[in-house]
Structure 1
Amino acid sequence: MSQSTTRTERTDAPPPAEAPPAGPRGLRGHPWLTLLTVAVGVMMVALDGTVVAIANPVIQTDLGASPADIQWVTSGYLLALAVFLITAGKIGDRFGHRTTFLVGAAGFAATSAAIGFATNIQTVIAFRVLQGLFGALLQPAALGLLRGAFPAEKLNMAIGIWAGVIGASTAAGPIVGGLLVEHVSWQSVFFINIPVGLAAVALGLWILRDVRAANAAKSFDVPGIALLSAAMFLLVWGIIKAPAWGWGAGTTWLFLGGALVALVAFALWQTRAQEPLIPLTLFRSVPLSAGALLMVLMAFAFFGAIFFVTFYLQNVHGMTPVQAGVHLLPMTGMMIIGAPAAGAAIGKVGPRIPIVVGMLLTTTAMYGMSTLDTGSGTGVMSLWFVLMGLGISPVMVGATEVIVGNAPLELSGVAGGLQQAAMQVGGSLGTAVLGAVMASKVGSVLPGNLAGAGLALPPGPQGDGLKQAAQLGITPPMPPGTPQQAVQGMATAIHHSFVSGMSMAFAVAAVVAFAAAVLGLLTKRGTAAAGPSVHI
């Protein structure tokens, strides 16, 4: 094929798969190698979302960071990721998803190196924010590249494998992070991204074929980007800080109310902009709107509830981070197996049935986890983890297909950004809301559990500190000379209080998961089967 630019227009159905062009570039655009390439890139981003959590305590000690500073290491990354995702999708639609992917992969690796060499917490935070921006470029671009490389009848399988990589990488984070922190250093958690990022760039230069819609907008809706970014920032930051400020606090409502105002202003502007960032006609598609809300509810239930599992395994059962990660392998394994299988099933019967069945399995798993106690064994935990992995897989694949497949071709990147933004907002909201549920329950049962052990909740700040420790299942050190019976009584009271709060959080997550199952009835296969025009 010549070096000059050629354009392949697709209309109602994709053309038959063409043989890869001969010569040195014969593998460029190969569907399965494209999948391998984008999987390497998104694996880096997904792994980073959980692996850093294991390193945070060591970073705090090594750099002398305050609790507020160390919170920014995670919050700054998630905030940048959530705020920039939809704009990043628009960048891919405009400049091509191949270029966007390569810039994202290279930038993610470079900022990871900068974090590893940082000598103070301010530098770590600054480059974590930049890392989130580059991560936002990667994920919508990956979906756009998959849509351009695969014919419609194989796209679901590709998205299934892609989702399996994300799920496996997310769940593997505690194991990888635990091994690196325990046996190497906290810096190695970031340095590991360098070879992975370089591999993604090398494969991308060799394999990826540029993908963009022929009629994509040629200019950017700058006011729209500013208003949407402001709305996402106010919303996500308000959610992140609500547990510390209090859900009824004026500051919390100021941020959440500001997010609503900015979102309304954005919607009004989109009706007047010449080339809007997100044409509101996009949401006339009921399946697409249902898919976006479904992704929010799924992430709320899954990421919000699973947040407590690592504390349950480590602080209540006394496991190391690596042991806790190993105990999560049943869920990881089912996601690796379930996502490609879900993609195949969705290709045959459409997304509705797999999504509904998946959310019902997730509901069952959430309810089962609400019955765990301080003495629950590996067998019963593994049962609920298996159901969780099997339930989440078809939802991640199906909701992605519904959102991206029902969007116009020229907005495929924006749709990919919308899918990822919905997941980030849902996960942040779930962690905050279920954390508040946990805190309320722990605060109400801890005094009684302490009294049952012959102890009393200390007054003032000391008592508040004990409640906060109990919300994570942590037993604070007792003064020297404290009788062993009192030490054991304190640990038992805190663990029982934590489990009571966790059970309440999982019960709420089960209700949200069931609501998502009902919403899944509104989904259907995407009508925009045609892939975007391809520029080589």
Structure 2
Amino acid sequence: MTAQTTPPATAAPPDRPASAWTRSPWATLVAIAFGVMMVALDGTIVAVANPAIGASLGASLAELQWVTHGYLLGLAVFLITAGKLADRFGHRRVYLVGVVGFVASSVAIALSSGVIMLVAFRIAQGVFGALLLPSAMGLLRSVFPPSRLGRAFGVFGSLIGASTAAGPIVGGLLVGSFGWEAVFYINVPVGAVALGLGLWLLAANRPTDAGGRLDLPGIVLVSVAVFALVWALVEAPVVGWTHPVTLVSLGAALLLGLAFVLWERRPEQPLLPLSLFADRSVSIGVVLTVVMAVSLMGSLFFVTFYLQGVRGLTPAQTGMQLIAMTATMAVTSPLAGRLLDRVGAKPPTTAGLLSGSVGMFLLSGMDADTGVLYTSAAFLLLGAGLSLVMTGATAAIIGNAPVRLAGVASALQQAAMQLGGSLGTAVLGAVMSGTILATLPGHLAAAGQDVPSAAGLAAVQSTVAQGGAVVPEGAAADVAEAVTRASNLAFLDGLQLAFLIASGLLMAGAVLSLFMRAGRMEDDQEAPVVHV
């Protein structure tokens, strides 16, 4: 086993225009802000738009999940490759290509006339988002010295966290005023600003790993493996976890993933150097990013159905209900970054996981009459906790990677987050569906209503999982009320169990975070690359 060190992160950045402002590393952060927010926003903005999309295009719950998963699929499958492309051809160039493609695909989504077309363009949108995110984070890694990376990642995490949490708010306002298409058209002005700032403020394009070769076998193996994994996560809640489609997809993901790991030990310039994982903080940071994304994406997906379906709120009211999370994430991440520069990633990450666990536990106690103060307190704890985790885990992964692999390390962090998002909606969705099928008959019987057959329950499960109820045509008012009440109780049974599981995952993550390396990075610290 031999060790090789990379140049320190304090190496002079690429030449910039003459003004003092554009020479500052903070100019880079300003330049990428709108692009980063645009990508993060689109991960959750459709959460509030899902009911409107379903009603407009006649989509089922499974198809609505694909509207979300298609985007995450494009991101997850292409992220590692995009990170390598950014290191190889330059972060600035790849970032600008990502911005242009993201806006173009957003317009195509808004113009879609059917669910299949919409999902296809959502996948394309995710691919361009994959080009954009690692290159943006790579730009930060290359211009900020290690002693100030915490602050940079804090602001970066604030942009991602606040945009992710703001998605339901912005989406609610846009859907309520202009229709679901507006949540995609909004990317046109935002993307124009992102492109303009990028052309003005970003330094001249300079690859950080110009001599690197593209590991084509590695690209194929990891892309197909991730695709198979996400496909299994999407299809399992629909066809079942023991269905041949699910088992074959999971088996393919496992075998191809193993083949990828074995292959990456062979080439001199692998797509994803396995030496990155020799640092335990990097490895733990990846796991904690997955745990954080499971809780964030899983909770946002189903809490909107709760607020609109069970509580009867409008899309705009639903968005405003989540403002406690949005505001908290926006404020907490920069503070976490400053703390991280002083004490390292371990303390804020552990504290964030504990706070998020308590927030999810409170959300697991919601019922049909839960008040605003209770839910706001839960969202406040969840938002503060997840923003701390996002900042700490990001710094643990990227801050401990060599500058020349900044794009790959950034892609690794983002891939963990996107796969966690898919895992969250799939697994929590499976918990929701299974619980509804188990408890709905009892609630209907208690309300004096006929219990459907197994086939009948399967037919109504999708509607109940969206916070709705299948009321018999022509039913009297008291019957309609009883069926709706029973359906809402079954939905809440599933929601409470799913959120309780998410709370437990965050608590387990808090224990794992205690094994992260203590201390903070210094300006003269170099991230080692160990070739195994």
Q: Which residue of 1 aligns with 2:484?
A: 491
Per-residue CA deviations over 1:336-376 (Å, capped at 9, x if unaligned) read 11111111111111110111111011111111111222111
Per-residue CA deviations over 1:493-523 (Å, capped at 9, x if unaligned) read 1111111111111111111101111111122
Normalising by the residue count of structure 2, what TM-score does the alignment of the two structures yield? 0.92
Shift of 1:141: 0.9
Per-residue CA deviations over 1:132-180 (Å, capped at 9, x if unaligned) read 1110011111111112222322221121111111122122222222222
Which deviates further from its counterpart, 299-308 or 76-85?
299-308
Q: Which residue of 1 aligns with 2:10?
A: 14
Per-residue CA deviations over 1:391-445 (Å, capped at 9, x if unaligned) read 1111000000000011122211100000000011111112111111122222222
1:364 aligns with 2:366: no
1:230 aligns with 2:224: yes
1:519 aligns with 2:515: no
**Matches of residues 23-102 of structure 1 in structure 2 within 5 Å?**
23=18, 27-59=21-53, 62=56, 71-102=65-96
**Matches of residues 263-342 of structure 1 in structure 2 within 5 Å?**
263-342=257-336
Q: Out of 374, 383, 389, which is 1:380 matched to?
A: 374
Q: Which residue of 1 aligns with 2:186?
A: 192
Q: Which residue of 2 aligns with 1:4?
A: none
The AA in structure 2 aligned to 1:220 is: L
Q: Which residue of 1 aligns with 2:496?
A: 503
The AA in structure 2 aligned to 1:107 is: G
**Matches of residues 67-146 of structure 1 in structure 2 within 5 Å?**
71-146=65-140
| Residue ranges of structure 1 left out of the alignment (5+ in a row) | 1-8
Shift of 1:463: 2.6
SS of 1:522's equivalent in the other structure is: coil
Are the equivalent residues in 2 in contact too, given 1:216–1:411 (CA < 8 A)?
A: no
Q: Out of 390, 405, 417, which is 1:411 matched to?
A: 405
| Alpha-carbon distance between aligned partners in 1 of 2:280 and 2:61, rounded to the nearest angstrom | 43
Are the equivalent residues in 1 in contact too, given 2:91–2:207 (CA < 8 A)?
A: no
Q: Which residue of 2 aligns with 1:5?
A: none
Per-residue CA deviations over 1:247-277 (Å, capped at 9, x if unaligned) read 1112111101100100111111111113110
SS of 1:476's equivalent in the other structure is: coil
Describe the shift of the 1:263–1:526 C-alpha distance in structure 2 as closer, same or farther (beyond 3 A).
Answer: farther
Are the equivalent residues in 1 in contact too, given 2:72–2:419 (CA < 8 A)?
A: no
Describe the shift of the 1:267–1:104 C-alpha distance in structure 2 as closer, same or farther (beyond 3 A).
Answer: same
Shift of 1:56: 4.2
SS of 1:447's equivalent in the other structure is: helix
| Residue ranges of structure 2 left out of the alignment (5+ in a row) | 527-532
The percentage of counterpart residues that share the same residue type is 46
SS of 1:477's equivalent in the other structure is: coil
Which deviates further from its counterpart, 398-407 or 364-373?
364-373
Normalising by the residue count of structure 1, what TM-score does the alignment of the two structures yield? 0.91
Are the equivalent residues in 2 in contact too, given 1:212–1:410 (CA < 8 A)?
A: no
1:177 aligns with 2:168: no
Q: CA RMSD in A?
A: 2.5
Q: Which residue of 1 aligns with 2:146?
A: 152
The AA in structure 1 aligned to 2:276 is: L
| Alpha-carbon distance between aligned partners in 2 of 1:438 and 1:65, rounded to the nearest angstrom | 19
| Alpha-carbon distance between aligned partners in 2 of 1:165 and 1:224, rounded to the nearest angstrom | 31
Are the equivalent residues in 1 in contact too, given 2:47–2:300 (CA < 8 A)?
A: no
Describe the shift of the 1:237–1:176 C-alpha distance in structure 2 as closer, same or farther (beyond 3 A).
Answer: same
| Alpha-carbon distance between aligned partners in 2 of 1:271 and 1:357, rounded to the nearest angstrom | 36
Shift of 1:125: 3.4
Describe the shift of the 1:364–1:55 C-alpha distance in structure 2 as closer, same or farther (beyond 3 A).
Answer: closer
Count of aligned residue pairs for this structure pair: 521
Are the equivalent residues in 2 in contact too, given 1:82–1:424 (CA < 8 A)?
A: yes
